[in-house]
Amino acid sequence: MNSSIKKFIENISYTFLVNLLSVIISTILIIIVPKVVSVETYGYWQLYIFYTYIISFMSLGLSEGVYLRFGGCDYKSLNKPIFASQYWFLLMVNILVDFTFACIYSTYSTNSNKTLVVFLTCLAGVLIAPRSLLSLTLQTTNRIYEYSIAYILERAIYFVLVIVFLLLGIKNFVFLILSDIVGKICSVIYTIYTCKEIVFRRFPSIKKSLKEIKINISIGSKLLIANFASLFIVGSVRLLIDNNWSVETFGKVSLTLSISNMLMLFINAIGIVLFPSLRRMPEEKLPSFYNTMRTLIMVPLFGMLLLYFPAKMILSFWLPQYLDSFIYMTLLFPMCIFESKMLMLINTYLKTLRKEKALLLINLFTLFLSIVLSFINVYLLSSLNLTVLSITVVLAIRCIIAELYLSKLIDIKVKKDIIIELCCTAAFIALSWYLSLFKAGMTYLLVYLFYLVIKKGEIFALRNTFNLFFRKKLS
């Protein structure tokens, strides 16, 4: 078997297993934690998780610059002294900024619980941003195995500690957060050990170090801001919910988002493996590969929407205190369709083609649209349902704009597929909202079967491609 194909399959296998374990861990935590802690405690825990997403952007674009510049490179060929100066620069900046912010916030805050959440978030930030440089270096140099071990180490320790605390009857959100921080500490230690040739090196001259830092921040800042805008497309809605409703309501919406996001873990993992592989791929092969991967993703994803119906029934029985929050699952579950395609395919292709500026503009426009719709829904209409629905709507708009732009770059036709996918998504939401669970499930199954009939040509072509590939490798 060709060594590059073998490496790609190995990397996919690593990420698949890691994310399978992550999905299992996330599922168990989603099932158990809301059941045994109060809605308020769960809300503060989710607030911390949300804040850690925000503080991860304290990489300043430096880590993203490394990711873009060195994508597809060999780890041994990296100029490690230069990387060492950048790692320690990020660490020092984050220690200074995070704890300065924590002190200022504690001075003016009147909510002691939120102050504690912010302080612990800043502590986590000192771990997250510097580690991102090492993690992205592992990803971009195709050391997916080491990256996967670091990721699952964090999740496993976090999971074990949460379960231990709950078994001991400790249900305070602080201990849930500390479980996450301990997991991150262990992951950082392993990542530093894995990248010890980078971390423990003599620095080059200050002038040379600063020059490289400036270049990476200049290149990576566009991708950083694009990612930040992407986060706040949903994050702005969550902040307005937290501001206008209670922390309990925030927790309930966050629970539904967590359930929807679980479906995207596998897709994001494949995107991690795809980037360095696409950077090595001849440009003329990109269109056909895109069409193949698109079919491979979208057909199963629309089938996965069928999981909504048994999931809602089981969770409503298991978590009756969150019964009203499962109404939002109808509106949020389809977001996985658009986010998965965006994360795995469109983002990865735009980064491969070095169109991070276009990605930035698309995300900024969508963020602006999200903020406008959220303000209307929250402050003018006071409708939580419309506020939640706006998340799926703006993510769909972003995905459509980005894919149409990408289709022009690599000369592919996607308009027909986009229309079909929008119709299927609208049918899912309408059926789930207005019909009983059983009737909606049966009707959507018919919609999905009709979708498969429409896509049968691409499905058979995909099957033939895989059959041909494996026949060649076995012969």
Contact 444, 428 (CB under 8 A): yes
SS3 at position 5: helix
Domain check: are 228 and 85 in the same one? Answer: no
pLDDT classification of 117: cutoffs 50, 70, 90: confident
Q: Residue 211: which pLDDT band, with cuts at 50, 70 and 90?
A: confident
pLDDT of residue 1: 45
What lies within 8 Å, CB to CB, of 468 at 6+ separation is none
Query: When comparing pLDDT for 338 and 272, which is higher?
Result: 338
451 has pLDDT over 70: yes
Are 280 and 51 a contacting pair, CB within 8 Å? no
* Residue 164 covered by a domain: yes
Which has more confidence, 268 or 401?
401
Return the sign of the alpha-carbon dihedral for residues 191, 48, 263, 367: negative
Q: By the 8 A CB rule, do 395 and 347 touch? A: no
Which contacts (CB < 8 Å, 24+ apart) does range 319-326 have?
Answer: 319/34, 319/35, 321/34, 321/39, 322/34, 322/39, 322/252, 322/255, 324/252, 325/252, 325/253, 325/255, 325/256, 326/256
Determine contact, residues 18/269, Cβ cutoff 8 Å: yes
170 with 292, same domain: the answer is: no
In a domain, 216, yes or no: no
Identify whether residues 293 and 199 lie together within a single domain: no
Chain segment 316-344, per-residue pLDDT in tens: 787 777 676 777 778 878 888 888 888 77
Q: What is the model's pLDDT at position 377?
A: 83
Is there a single domain that holds both residue 227 and residue 199? no
Confidence at 401, pLDDT banded by 50, 70, 90 = very high
Q: What tokens were used for 413?
A: 């036709």
In a domain, 370, yes or no: yes
Q: Is residue 126 part of a domain?
A: yes
Kindly give the residue spans of alpha helices, DSSP state H, lying in 245-285: 247-262, 265-280
Contact at 8 Å (CB) between 266 and 13? no
Please give the mean pLDDT across all residues of the chain: 80
Question: Is 90 exceeded by the pLDDT of residue 278?
Answer: no
Give long-range contacts, CB 8 A cutoff, 24+ apart: 467-471.
none
Contacts of 112 (CB under 8 A, 6+ apart): none
**Angle at the Cα of 44 (from 264 to 368), degrees rounded to 5?**
55
Say what the pLDDT of residue 252 is: 67
Q: Is 72 left (phi over 0), alpha (psi -120 to 50) or beta?
A: left
Is 160 a domain residue? yes
pLDDT band at 475 (very low <50, low <70, confident <90, very high): very low
> Maximum CA pair distance of the chain?
71
Q: Are residues 277 and 304 in the same domain?
A: yes
Which pLDDT score is estimated for 359?
Answer: 85
Judge whether residue 9 has pLDDT over 60. Answer: no
Looking at the fold, whether 226 and 362 belong to one and the same domain comes out as yes
Radius of gyration of the chain (CA): 22
**CB 41, CB 172: distance < 8 Å:** yes
- For residues 83-95, give the mean pLDDT: 86
User: Measured between alpha carbons, how far apart are the two ends of the chain, in Å?
Assistant: 10
- pLDDT tens per residue across span 171-189: 888 888 899 899 999 999 9
Residue 305: give the domain boundaries. 221-475
Same domain for 138 and 228, yes or no, is no
| 115-129, 259-273, 334-348: range with lowest mean pLDDT | 259-273
Per-residue confidence band for 439, with pLDDT thresholds at 50, 70 and 90: very high
Are 368 and 314 part of one and the same domain? yes
**Average pLDDT of span 287-309:** 83
246 and 150 part of one domain: no
> Which residue, among 231, 118, 125, has the nearest Cα to 181 in the 3D structure?
125
Q: Is 215 domain-assigned?
A: no
Which pLDDT band holds residue 16 (cuts at 50, 70, 90)? low
Please choose, from the candidates 150, 114, 343, 141, the residue with its C-alpha nearest in 3D space to the C-alpha of residue 239: 114
* Residue 400 clears pLDDT 90, i.e. is over it: yes
Provide the whole-model pTM. 0.69
Classify residue 214: in a domain, yes or no. Answer: no
Q: pLDDT for 27-81, tens place per residue?
A: 777 778 877 888 788 788 888 888 887 887 787 888 888 777 776 677 777 778 8
Top pLDDT among 126 and 228 is at 126
Q: How confident is the model at residue 263 (pLDDT cuts 50, 70, 90)?
A: low
- The number of folded domains in the chain is 2
Q: Tell me: do 252 and 384 sit in the same domain.
A: yes
pLDDT tens digits, 355-395: 878 888 998 898 888 888 888 887 888 787 888 888 889 98
Q: Which residue has tokens 């494949």?
A: 270
Residue 84 and residue 213 in contact, taking contact as beta carbons nearer than 8 Å:
no
Same domain, 263 and 176: no
Evaluate whether 358 touches 405 at the Cβ level (below 8 Å). Answer: yes
